[in-house]
Chains A and B, each alone.
Chain A
Amino acid sequence: MLFNSLQYLLFFAMAMLGAKLLTNIRWQHRFLLAASIYFYASWNALLVLLILASAVADYWIAIYMAAASSPGRRRVLLVVSLVSNLSLLGFFKYTNFLLETFFTVQQWAGGHWLSGPTHLNIILPVGISFYTFQTLSYTVDVYRGKLAPIRSLESFLLFISFFPQLVAGPIVRATDFLPQLQKRAEVLPQNLKIGFSLFLVGLVKKVVFADTLGLFVEKIYTAPAGFGSLPIILATAAYAVQIYCDFSGYTDMAIGSAVALGFWLPKNFNYPYFAASITEFWQRWHISLSTWLRDYLYIPMGGNRLGPGRTYVNLLATMLLGGLWHGARWTFVFWGAYQGILLALHRFYAGRVDGSPRLQWLARLRESTAFRWLCVAGTLYLVLIGWIFFRAESTSDLGHLLSKFIFFDGFHRFNGVRLREALSVVLMIAAFAACHIFSHRAGGIGHRLGAASDRAWCVTVTGGFLLLLLLAPSRAPEFIYFQF
């Protein structure tokens, strides 16, 4: 059930009606839990059991952990939680990747150590990367003593499976969500207005920008070998807009749905393409993942406390794993490594500028607006190169895509792309940039819309509906992050 489907709108209307009518807190939460299970079961009813099993295991582990008398016993329970969660994630997500890698290496080496199928027919449960990280953060927080274990199993299951954020985040921390379950969620008309405004903005991002541009990106990236620099640069810029609008659009719809039901979810994006450095980009892009990786991976590995060399290694390792989290493909590993190297280089550069009196002029220059915009452009260029790693369908395509993107091969009339098609893409990117800048200055279109006067709200909503009617592609692809 996709957010951008009539089926979801009907489902959501029923969920809201039920949550509104049920006055008893326990029954309301049970109802929302049942709705969440139904939501997930519409993809695969059997895999609901996987979420429930994973959640129930962590629920009991956390309770036993809090009751454990010795640190050793607590550590054992933490290891049990980590191993069980990561094993599930590893099995479903990485088995085929490991098998393929193993057999490729075996073939290269000319050995015959093992034989067997190179691919197993394993279904990837939608959202497994998200809910696994959510349950993991819960047990780690309980282990660290930051959080007392929750006693209500229903509430815990609702926290893990709450349908707006179940399949593609944001990765909600227990400390953010569980306190909201202490009282009945109020379904109010003003929250519906705010929630609907956010939802509509997300829907326009997804359907009008991401899906439309996605068709062009798919055309170029499916068989890039036949295309020169111009189409590849255009497709990469289009992909940057597509992935942002697809993922942040999903987040907006998730937050909007939650708001209408009387809940709030953490913000996941903060205008990442306005970042003036790669470090800032990661503070603005997929915030719930980057802060998760920071709190549960980078800092436990030592963070920046063990000297510059170790800091760079930690950054690289964190981003490598972050890349692998996105998918079991070498292109994601390369993307993670690329981001890690950029972060390490930026840290090195920032450290040098801040620490050297001779470079104070550069530190002062960094304060100027013009320099900041130059940095924004430079960061965007590096991010675009990163998206090539991310979107390339195979490592064999990577070389061609990167070389054509970086080394411009000139203007050619016959490049397999029609002028109107290219202009549509340029127009879409320009429209996105204009909306993005406007939204940035206005402090978020969705938020402003939720508080707008009736007339302004009606005009904007009508405009949004009309855009959807006019520009939605005839087929509705899934959200990109569903595959992760």
Chain B
Amino acid sequence: MKEPPAPAVATTLRLESSPTSGTNPLANQPAAQPVTWRGVLARLTVCSGTALLLYAGIVTGLIEPYVRDGSSAGRVAGVYEGYKSILRERLDARATNSLVLFWGSSMVREGVDCAQLEAGLNSVSAYNFAVSGDLPCRRLVELPRAKELHPQRVVIGLSYPEVFEDRLPFEDQIAVLPATAYAAMPPAAQQLLPGKFHQMASRPEWDRFLWKRKFFLPAVFAGLGVGGRGDQLRPGHAIEFKAPWVYTLGIQAEELKRFLALKKNAYPPYTSGPQGDPAGTLAARSLALLVRELVEQGTEVMLVNMPLHPLLGAVVPEERRAALNQFLATLRSERVSVLDCQDRLPASGFVDLVHMNAEGRAAFTHVMSKVLAAPHQPAPAKNYTQARHAL
């Protein structure tokens, strides 16, 4: 810090009308054309209009294709449309076999191979509708479409986030679907979801148009082929409902150990979090509502506590696991079964702490096919006229 005289920094900006200015610093610049109010305002209008047009071009040519095919949000839209396309296919084929849907996050997306499942079971059509980073409250929007399909079983793969999280789904996952999708949710779901969710869900088209800017940089990177693990999605992943995804790039156990050590074995919400008791969290209440709505229309529900990497399983406190199981037990009923697979797979079945590799997926799918082969309640009668009308 220096004493006066003041630093040799020009600390003032003088301008035309400044009463204390002796000179205009812009006077040395090349003489500009005379400026008028009309001229300035007209140019501002033209500039903003041109920018808006350029933006619209970038959205149409670059961002929308990326959102549809290259982003996780694209799969939310793909799954939402998937119910309709599967219903159409089944109606056209007059299919009468059992229909099983798998819901959940990327743990399920990468953990269930429906083609393998169908091969191991007689007369079953299975679809993997899992979405990365999914929470039960986001899935509520799919209830009307899921009900139209009349699945015999819905298997909800879950772990600690699906029960202990009290947050809203990611903005992308909400805003990628049209406002009409949310308007069709059952009244109980409408009431359950907080105002902020509705605010994002009912966003007008103009807002959605501007919101798409958030995909600009990812779209550029995807166009350039730049990305690492977790960035690159396989083409067509959004509408692949048999075996959507599996990582091939595993992380060494040493790296996983280092990661957990850095976090002092605290990996919320698996090991800890603000919510010690799941009762009352948005995720848990949404899960209960999903189960209730499905059961009411005669669908069997299976809640599966998904496998965790043994390193992560070892640091989940017993109380935490007991609280999860206790909550799931409250949902158990004649049509709702609960399966705890948390310790079912060895470390060789994972690419990281929670996601399975091809070996893990095959093993877990085998477990699921054995469980699903067990006898279950008769399917509700199909009303084809009603279903076709829904289309």
Binding site for B on A (CB under 8 A): 176, 179-180, 182-183, 185-186, 188-194, 196, 225-228, 255, 259, 262-267, 270, 279, 282-284, 287-288, 290-291, 293-295, 298-299, 303-304, 315, 318, 343, 412-416, 418-420, 423-424, 427, 447-448, 450-454, 457-458, 461-463, 465-466, 468-474
Contacts and interface: CB of A to CB of B under 8 A. Distances in A.
Contact of A418 (B29, B40, B230): B230
Interface residues of B, number: 66
A323 to B, nearest CB: 14
Interface in B1-18: 1-4, 6-7, 9-18
**A-B CB proximity, top 7 nearest:** A419-B228, A465-B51, A186-B17, A451-B29, A283-B7, A226-B263, A461-B47
Contacts of B47: 458, 461-462, 465
Contacts of B35: 189-190, 193
19 contacts: A189-B36, A189-B39, A189-B40, A192-B37, A196-B44, A226-B259, A226-B263, A264-B20, A279-B1, A283-B7, A290-B1, A414-B259, A418-B229, A447-B26, A451-B26, A465-B51, A468-B51, A469-B210, A473-B214
B381 interface: no
Given A190-B35, A466-B54, A458 B46 contact: yes
A413 B251 contact: yes
Contacts of B251: 413-414
Contacts of B20: 176, 179-180, 264
Given A264-B15, A462-B51, A228 B32 contact: no
Contact of A226 (B51, B58, B262): B262
A190 B43 CA distance: 13
Nearest to B8: A283
Contacts of A469: 51-52, 55, 210, 213
B168 to A, nearest CB: 13
Contacts, number: 183
Contact of A419 (B30, B32, B231): B231
Interface stretch (B104-112, B131-139, B216-224, B327-335): B216-224
Contacts of A182: 19
Contact of B17 (A191, A279, A473): A191
B50 interface: yes
A283 B51 contact: no
Find the residue from A283, A293, A470 having the highest chain B CB count within 10 A: A470
B296 interface: no
B2 A294 contact: yes
Contacts of B58: 470
Find the residue from B25, B32, B229, B262 having the highest chain A CB count within 10 A: B262
B33 interface: yes
A236 B51 CA distance: 33
Interface in B209-241: 210-211, 213-214, 216-218, 221, 226-231
A192 B51 contact: no
Contacts of B227: 419-420
A223 to B, nearest CB: 9
A461 B44 contact: yes
A423 B225 CA distance: 13
A470 B56 CA distance: 10
Given A191-B16, A267-B9, A413-B255, 14 more contacts: A180-B18, A185-B17, A262-B17, A265-B13, A266-B12, A283-B7, A288-B11, A295-B4, A419-B227, A447-B13, A453-B30, A469-B213, A470-B213, A473-B214
A264 B46 contact: no
Contact of B43 (A415, A457, A468): A457
Given A179-B20, A291-B7, A298 B1 contact: yes
Interface in B260-316: 262-264, 266
B386 interface: no
A117 B177 CA distance: 48
B43 A303 contact: no
A419 B226 contact: yes
B51 A267 contact: no
Interface of B: 1-4, 6-7, 9-21, 25-26, 29-30, 32-33, 35-37, 39-40, 43-44, 46-48, 50-52, 54-55, 58, 171, 210-211, 213-214, 216-218, 221, 226-231, 251, 255-256, 258-259, 262-264, 266, 352
A179 B19 contact: yes
Contact of A453 (B32, B216, B217, B266): B32
A473 B19 CA distance: 40
Given A185-B17, A466-B54, A472-B213, A412 B46 contact: no
A227 B17 contact: no
Nearest to B25: A447
B183 to A, nearest CB: 22
A255 B210 CA distance: 29
B368 to A, nearest CB: 28
A369 B9 CA distance: 20
Nearest to B58: A470
A267 B13 contact: yes
Find the residue from B7, B30, B50, B230 having the highest chain A CB count within 10 A: B7
B2 A283 contact: yes
A226 B262 CA distance: 5
B231 A225 contact: no
Given A424-B217, A466-B54, A474-B211, A418 B228 contact: yes
Contact of B258 (A186, A294, A412): A412
A447 B28 CA distance: 12
Contacts of A191: 15-17
A270 B9 contact: yes
B41 to A, nearest CB: 9
Contacts of B229: 413, 418-419
A176 B12 contact: yes
Find the residue from B15, B39, B210, B229 having the highest chain A CB count within 10 A: B15
A73 B32 CA distance: 56
Nearest to B258: A412
Contacts of B17: 185-186, 188, 191, 262
A73 to B, nearest CB: 28
A465 B229 CA distance: 33
Contact of A423 (B9, B14, B46, B226): B226
A180 B17 CA distance: 10
Given A419-B231, A420-B221, A414 B13 contact: no
B9 A283 contact: yes
Nearest to B20: A179
Contacts of B54: 462, 466
Given A228-B262, A259-B15, A283-B7, A466 B43 contact: no
B373 to A, nearest CB: 37
A127 B45 CA distance: 34
A474 to B, nearest CB: 6
A279 to B, nearest CB: 7
A78 B302 CA distance: 77
Nearest to A314: B1
Contacts of A179: 19-20
B256 A414 contact: yes
Contacts of B230: 418-419
A473 B198 CA distance: 20
A416 B352 CA distance: 12
Given A191-B15, A283-B9, A298-B1, A412 B255 contact: yes
B223 to A, nearest CB: 12
A194 B36 CA distance: 13
Contact of A420 (B7, B10, B214, B218): B218
Contacts of A192: 37, 40
A244 B201 CA distance: 35
A466 B55 CA distance: 7
Contacts of A186: 16-17
Given A291-B7, A462-B50, A279 B2 contact: yes
